[in-house]
Amino acid sequence: MKLRTIATNGIRMRFAEEGAGPLVLLLHGFPESWYSWRHQLPALAAAGYHAVAPDQRGYGGTDAPAAIEAYDILHLTADAVGLLDALGEKQAVVVGHDWGSPVAWHCALLHPERFRAVAALSVPYTGRAPMPPLELFRALAGDRFFYVLYFQEPGVAERELEQDVRDTMSRFLYAASGDVTEDPNFWEKPGDAKFLDGLPSPMALPPWLTAADLDYFASEFRRTGFRGGLNWYRNFDRNWELTVELADAKVTQPALFVAGERDGVLRMIPVEAMRDWVPNLRELRLLPGCGHWTQQEKPAEVNAALIEFLKRL
């Protein structure tokens, strides 16, 4: 495996790569980096694929533009297309997790000639929202805390999350995992709560997360801060406005969906509704005991699902 940096869509993007063969593009979520795919890179390479996992815009060794609007869905998908161009590839299979999943879905929708298949972890595709997302989130949240709304004001979440980055990462990774034993009380906090309120500190790291893993994530976010990743959340309504033409669009490429049965995202999005929007969904696989960090918590299961899907294309 090697790390290198190239120019794409007006920014410099760092990525990890391994293997040779058909290109598989791996897009991480929040708050992560290429390192979230550390188990998939060698497995895909061994199976005969060129696996590429970038630090997405605003993360790790990739540029983090200052403007909030520089993180909308058109920029994020154009980054992926530019990465294919820089690698000299006409097509790729795109795989996303968390925020990387909406990017992967939109790569398939907006650039179907470049992305021949799509796999998503954690976040299903259920079509364009019927109203501006922040309006929908406010209606759903009522007077309770909702993290997307908390992330909207620039500087607020940054100050909280960056006060002790290692503590932030350990609590967040643990609380959203399938290994948490305490009730994080994440969905029932009062409206004036902060993000980390109620998130337990693990007595011991879960078995899928080593001290070295945590150190890597923490060192990256100490250096970059969380602003870049948080700016993705500040484009929810802008993304909705920019994709009017996708109101009735379906993802027609071959698709795979994998998520943990204990993933909190599935409490917000009805996963079965995806079948109407992804008519060529080859498999919907839910992993017992798995939380939100799908490919990190259950690497063997995710690797097997991805490779089986790829081999059948």
Catalytic residue annotation: 98, 292
Beta strands 11-18 and 2-8, pairing class: antiparallel
Comparing CA positions, the residue from 162, 220, 219, 210 lying closest to residue 14 is 220
DSSP string, 65-117: -S-GGGGSHHHHHHHHHHHHHHHT-S-EEEEEETTHHHHHHHHHHH-TTTEEE
Label each residue of 165-197 as H, E or C. HHHHHHHHHHHCCCCCCCCCCCCCCECCCCCCC
Q: How far apart are CA 285 and CA 278, in angstroms?
A: 14
- What share of residues in the chain are helix, strand, coil (percent, to 5)? 40, 15, 40
